[in-house]
Amino acid sequence: MCDTFLGCHYDHNDIEFQHVLHAMEGCFKIYGGKKSQLLDFVPISRPFLKQHAQKIIDVNEEWYGFLMGKVSGHQKASVADSEPRDFIDCYLAKSLEEPDIFTIEDLKYVLSDMFAGSTDTTANTLKFALLYMVMNPDVQEKVHQESMRVVGTSRLPCLEDRDKMPYTAATIYETQRLATIGPSIPRCATVDTTLAGYSIPKGTNVVCNIWSVHHDSNLWPDPERFDPSRHLNDKLEMVKSPHVLPFGAGRRVCMGETFAKMELFLFFSSLMHRFKFELPPGRESPSLDPAPGFTASPFPFEVLVKEYL
């Protein structure tokens, strides 16, 4: 991701990369707390939460400061008519053509959204996927067998295999539905409108309840059951549903969607190809409920990992 967005390829132990991880983890941790939600949705609480509000400001300054430092470096090193090296170069080129639309101020938010959409949410989706695999070993075995048929034993899955592995894709899709990593999405009404008989003035903040759509029994028979086959047709082809919205919908769909989908398939299929995941002997079944936070994540759980020979 750093390579794609910022043009920086880090070793995991690199000091600057560890700074990136620390800054991002700080953002997700503080945004997911109850105090942050009170600040957002209960304005009357703000005079009593000034210290927490300052923490948010400090975390933002650290994260955005890092991103804008990379942008500034790109601006200084930019050479006209040269091939773009990464996302920042592409954006800067567009900003020269349409400066009123592609502003430098907006770039830091775009970069932040891209990182958020393909890190925290992706990691939590993978955690839930592993949780569902240990709780549904029959599904895990089907995913593994599909991978072996398509990929074989000489390599790991690649993106070109994705269309040939519908059951694996359906398993990821069902994970996104059942886990609902982003259970609610805040939006702002841009015009006066009416919805279900309610008047919504322009400028009103609204929250879309994605969780309710993903768990609606009118749309999904036995919605709490993990069942990838519900996304397969009679020809065993995966069929997408307009009622599965892990990245939102419309013009404000998550900018990191394409990148996150690539990551999810590559990581999940590679794990299922090489390893078998089980509950450790004698351990109680982990909770399937999400832990509270800005995005949904499973409570900590342990798995036994066995490598296929």
CA angle 231, 237, 240 (to 5 degrees): 45
Q: What is the pLDDT of residue 32?
A: 66
Secondary structure of residue 307 in the 3-state scheme: strand
- The share of the chain scoring above pLDDT 90, in percent, equals 55
Secondary structure of residue 216 in the 3-state scheme: coil
Q: How far is CA 245 from CA 113, 144, 178, 237, in A?
A: 17, 26, 11, 19
Q: What is the pLDDT of residue 304?
A: 96
In terms of Cα–Cα distance, which of 220, 306, 267, 292 is closest to 125?
267
| Alpha-carbon 125 to chain mean position | 7
Q: What is the pLDDT of residue 80?
A: 64
Q: What is the pLDDT of residue 253?
A: 83
The first and second tokens of residue 205, run together, are: 């903040």
Q: What is the pLDDT of residue 227?
A: 97
- Topology of domain 120-307 in CATH is Cytochrome p450 (1.10.630)
For the stretch 62-103, pLDDT in tens is 888 889 999 999 988 876 667 888 999 999 999 989 999 999
In terms of Cα–Cα distance, which of 293, 308, 272, 291 is closest to 129?
272
- The share of the chain scoring above pLDDT 70, in percent, equals 97
**Average pLDDT for the chain:** 90
For the stretch 207-259, pLDDT in tens is 888 999 999 999 999 999 999 999 999 999 999 999 999 988 888 888 778 88
The first and second tokens of residue 96, run together, are: 């020269």
Number of Cα atoms under 13 Å in the Cβ half of residue 189: 15
Q: What is the pLDDT of residue 89?
A: 92
- Domain assignments of the chain as residue spans, ordered by start: 2-117, 120-307
pTM: 0.81
Q: Which residues pair with 275 in a beta bridge?
A: 307
For the stretch 153-181, pLDDT in tens is 999 999 999 999 999 999 999 999 999 98
Q: What is the pLDDT of residue 56?
A: 85
Core vs surface per residue 242-273: b (16+ CB within 10 A) or e: eebbbbbeeeeebbbeebbbebbbbbbbebbb
